[in-house]
């Protein structure tokens, strides 16, 4: 299989965050089984990812009956870039497209100028749009999180 722009872990993280945001807008909680089937991901693998996002305060969780995952007000206002950075780090926002140890103006690779422009657009998109913004389209039924 050939990788996308984000790692599989990060794809699941983003999709689950959107799913949780969408399902828990009104103070509800949603369980791991429901999330996993809602975004079409392996349940126990997703559990690990959400444990990590929970430790980092990106999502919240509660154990026991009526427990599950949710996202608080502050969380909904976070830019999506925070989810991506938490999982994949920031190399996608700052790293050289050709894998040079450092991307720099003084030692640029042949793709530098063009690549940097594109990379910055992705950065801007993810930094300027909140989790709530993105999941809006789910409320409207326009977008999907699984095939």
**Location of structure tokens 């909140």:** 130
Q: Is residue 97 near ligand FES by the rule CB under 6 A?
A: yes
CA 138 and chain centroid, separation: 15
Q: 10 Å Cβ neighbour count for 18?
A: 24
Residue range at the interface with ligand FES (CB under 6 A); choices 35-43, 76-84, 91-99, 128-136:
91-99
By CB under 6 A, tell whether 100 contacts ligand FES.
Answer: yes
Q: How far is CA 97 from the centre of its chain?
A: 21
Extract the tokens encoding 71. Answer: 């996202």
> Helix 80-88 crosses helix 112-128 at what angle (to 10 degrees)?
120
**Residues lying near its own copies in the complex (CB under 8 A):** 2-8, 11-12, 14-15, 18, 88-89, 91-92, 95-102, 107-112, 114-115, 117-118, 121-122, 125, 129, 134-135, 137-138, 142-147
**Residues lying near DNA in the complex (CB under 7 A):** 1-3, 7-9, 12, 29-33, 41-45, 47-48, 50-51, 54-55, 61-69
């Amino acid at each position: 299989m050939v990788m996308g722009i984000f790692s599989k872990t990060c794809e699941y993280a983003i999709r689950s965050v959107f799913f949780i945001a969408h399902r828990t807008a009104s103070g509800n909680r949603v369980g791991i089984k429901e999330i996993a089937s809602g975004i079409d991901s392996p349940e126990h693998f997703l559990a690990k990812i959400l444990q990590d996002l929970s430790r980092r305060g990106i999502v919240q969780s509660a154990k026991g009956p009526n427990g599950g995952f949710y996202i608080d007000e502050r969380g909904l206002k976070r830019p999506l870039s925070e989810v991506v950075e938490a999982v994949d780090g920031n190399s996608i926002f700052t790293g050289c497209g050709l894998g040079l140890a450092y991307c720099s103006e003084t030692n640029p690779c042949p793709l530098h100028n063009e690549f940097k422009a594109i990379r910055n657009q992705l950065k801007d998109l993810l930094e300027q749009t909140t989790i709530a913004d993105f999941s809006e389209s789910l409320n409207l039924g326009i977008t999907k999180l699984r095939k």
